[in-house]
Amino acid sequence: MRDSTGAGNSLVHKRSPLRRNQKTPTSLTKLSLQDGHKAKKPACKFEEGQDVLARWSDGLFYLGTIKKINILKQSCFIIFEDSSKSWVLWKDIQTGATGSGEMVCTICQEEYSEAPNEMVICDKCGQGYHQLCHTPHIDSSVIDSDEKWLCRQCVFATTTKRGGALKKGPNAKALQVMKQTLPYSVADLEWDAGHKTNVQQCYCYCGGPGDWYLKMLQCCKCKQWFHEACVQCLQKPMLFGDRFYTFICSVCSSGPEYLKRLPLQWVDIAHLCLYNLSVIHKKKYFDSELELMTYINENWDRLHPGELADTPKSERYEHVLEALNDYKTMFMSGKEIKKKKHLFGLRIRVPPVPPNVAFKAEKEPEGTSHEFKIKGRKASKPISDSREVSNGIEKKGKKKSVGRPPGPYTRKMIQKTAEPLLDKESISENPTLDLPCSIGRTEGTAHSSNTSDVDFTGASSAKETTSSSISRHYGLSDSRKRTRTGRSWPAAIPHLRRRRGRLPRRALQTQNSEIVKDDEGKEDYQFDELNTEILNNLADQELQLNHLKNSITSYFGAAGRIACGEKYRVLARRVTLDGKVQYLVEWEGATAS
């Protein structure tokens, strides 16, 4: 049947013309054995000590030796030529034809061969495939032809390479044909929430394993990930974690792949290059001029910087350094850990997020991350969609904040000023405060920037006094907004009058009782006068904001939350440049009933 039986380990065999000669051995021409029973599928076609080719997460094959076999998990423990060790699934292992035994289909492990599903032997590896088992199906003209035929595995093994697969030659054309179909069903894959990994470890045209954070492209239609080594559309080799591409695979395009480079900003270049340096050198901090800029200049063409491509080499460092200093939530300076200030690293070693992915994340926000809910209110108020998103970071002018993950906890920055705590009885008697529905978001300084319509702040302990801080950069330009804001003051004034007998807002806890009483009278007089002025003249925005600042905590601030029994934990403390003490508080998110 085969003239290459004696050289079974050579991995190069002649295809057997099974259709020409129907009087081939019984095991290859009949569906069943002589006793009438079908051939049983072998439990495992591998054996310990066998030399095999194993596909790695980069889509390429590497030579290794099987040391252990796990039949339950259908995987083999393989030691590679560089002494590295790893478990590899059976689907990612390729073997040569054995020197003895019957020829069986590599896919179904059956040995019958009858039209229109005859078995065809690869001229490269000597493996047998049924016409309908192979992907894509083998045309009958291949059997009648004298031309060499390579199986799907061998086509990928001979054409895929680092930097991109071959684009010219007969094997390149064969690869393009193979890429029109996938050897698996995309719908059957079980993906994680971010659609980055699947349980089956099945990616790309080759169906092998992969790591999305290394050199892989995601199709914007089917969302599958593809190895750099398997695609034929790249002009330059990829960088690790570079997802700034619009890519459409051959399956979705029903032809050649589509690839378009997305624009890069300086912060993206700095982030991408720092990530690559950390992957290559396995460390966190790098010299911004000697290491980072050297890597950027050496890989300038591979970055495809687009509009930034014409930037002179002498000016690049200035832009990169500015990005490193501006995006403090993304980059970490060495001076933060008492190292040299020109050392920089990523706070979290993850690749940068391209703008199209960030836009989709903004389109479909997670409820706990993008809206705040007030206890006692049925409706929730979403954050305005006017924010800019770049690399997964919300931009508030020049100050960036990383979006917190979903969960039952909410975190607020509180400022240590003079604010007494409220008791539960006063909280329960207060009516609901009607907040303005439209409050514009504008840029602010480091001490007056706002991330939501109202920054609700809380207290860190029962002994320390706190107050809520509200930015003065609200867009209350039209009279309708001012009217709605003003209508809420009468509901808050009676509550403020019920605060007799307690420390005033601006009085320190160390003051004696006589000073407290004097300040209480002054404070009530100021609030009565403020209430009259708001009702008579709603145009005075500053007084409205001051009144809201003094009353908002009574309803929904930290003092009220603590008075209601809500549990909290102080995570961090810092002192700002103007002397204010701020705390990072983690709230439980539920109050005692």
Residue 158 lies in a domain: no
Q: Closest Cα to residue 435, out of 346, 321, 557?
A: 557
Looking at the structure, do residues 441 and 516 belong to the same domain, yes or no?
A: yes
Residue 430 near residue 555, CB atoms below 8 Å: yes
Is the bond preceding 256 in cis, omega lying within 30 degrees of 0?
no
Name the domain boundary from 261, 291, 308: 261
Write down the pLDDT at residue 550: 56
Q: Closest Cα to residue 346, out of 304, 298, 412, 402?
A: 402
Give the number of domains in the chain: 4
Q: Which stretches of 56-185 are DSSP H helices? A: 140-144, 152-159, 170-178
Looking at the structure, do residues 394 and 528 belong to the same domain, yes or no?
A: yes
Tell me the mean pLDDT per 10 residues along the chain, length 593.
34 34 33 36 73 91 92 92 91 76 80 85 88 89 85 91 90 91 92 93 93 93 94 93 94 93 93 95 92 94 91 92 92 86 91 73 40 36 42 44 42 40 40 37 37 38 37 38 39 43 45 48 51 51 54 58 77 86 80 46
Domain that holds residue 446: 360-587
Q: What gap in Å lies between CA 70 and CA 75, rounded to an integer?
A: 5
- CA-based Rg of the chain, rounded to a whole angstrom? 34
CATH number of the domain bearing residue 249 = 3.30.40.10
Write down the pLDDT at residue 441: 36
Residue partners of 175: CB distance under 8 A and separation at least 6: 155, 156, 159, 160, 165, 166, 232
Residue 111 lies in a domain: yes
Q: Closest Cα to residue 226, out of 208, 200, 204?
A: 204
Q: Establish how many alpha carbons lie within 13 A of residue 148's alpha carbon, considering only the half-sphere containing its beta carbon.
A: 13
Q: What gap in Å lies between CA 82 and CA 253, rounded to an integer?
A: 39
Residue partners of 425: CB distance under 8 A and separation at least 6: none
Looking at the structure, do residues 433 and 486 belong to the same domain, yes or no?
A: yes
Write down the pLDDT at residue 450: 39
Looking at the structure, do residues 427 and 538 belong to the same domain, yes or no?
A: yes
Residue 224 near residue 186, CB atoms below 8 Å: yes
Write down the pLDDT at residue 546: 58
Residue 412 lies in a domain: yes
User: Dihedral angle at the C-alpha atoms of 285, 288, 292, 298, nearest 10 degrees?
Assistant: -160
Residue 163 lies in a domain: no
Looking at the structure, do residues 394 and 481 belong to the same domain, yes or no?
A: yes
